[in-house]
Amino acid sequence: MAAEDADEWGAWWDARVAAIEAVLGPSDEMVGHAPIPFQLGADIGGAADIIYFRKHVPGVIAVTSELIGNEEQMQNSLGNYELMICQREDVDWGADLLCRLAYYTLEAKLEPGETMDLGPAVPEGSTIAALLFCDYAKFKVRDRHCGLLLCLGITASELAASRKGKTNKGLASLKAAEIYPFTDLERKSVV
């Protein structure tokens, strides 16, 4: 990477982390840096870097830190956005999923309120069948509209309700049951 490119990458990194920390509080000192950088591509094993937060909620939040400032991302209603997932326990599954899903945002726009079937991407025994994408925060980074898109694990019956136009009701039920914003891999459905 040329010095000028490295300086620009560093400027985006610092600005995006500062903006996310303004929402989620201080990030962990440890960053999940991919062995092969994201910009080199998924076909050779590149992955998104992940930053972690443990002070915002009683659990662990994993957030990509490669997408805000990336001109290739298909912007959604938030603008440029990073993906986030909240888990009550410190497990790798959520961060690993975000690393893979980050490349998808370069090909398709993920909007708040939309769902994505996870199929075999969930661990064996999990009751989670899909993700519901939620607008978690909006902010600006270097004069660009940006946000955090929460990837919330939902069950098959919650997915079916969402597909019938009951996303808001399902989300309200997840909040009332104190499940939102967490992806609990083994839980009962709220619908």
pLDDT tens-digit series, residues 122-179 = 999 999 999 999 999 999 999 999 999 999 999 999 999 999 999 999 999 999 999 9
- The model carries a pTM of 0.93
Domain assignment present for 22? yes
Domain assignment present for 185? no
Domain assignment present for 184? no
Domain assignment present for 87? yes
70-101 tens-digit pLDDT: 999 999 999 999 999 999 999 899 999 998 89
| CB-based contact 190:172 (threshold 8 Å) | no
Domain assignment present for 96? yes
Domain assignment present for 183? no
Owning domain of residue 116 = 3-176
Domain tally, the chain: 1
Domain assignment present for 86? yes
- List of residues 6+ apart from 148 with CB closer than 8 A: 20, 23, 24, 63, 78, 81, 82, 83, 84, 136, 137
Domain assignment present for 186? no
| Mean of the per-residue pLDDT values of the chain | 92
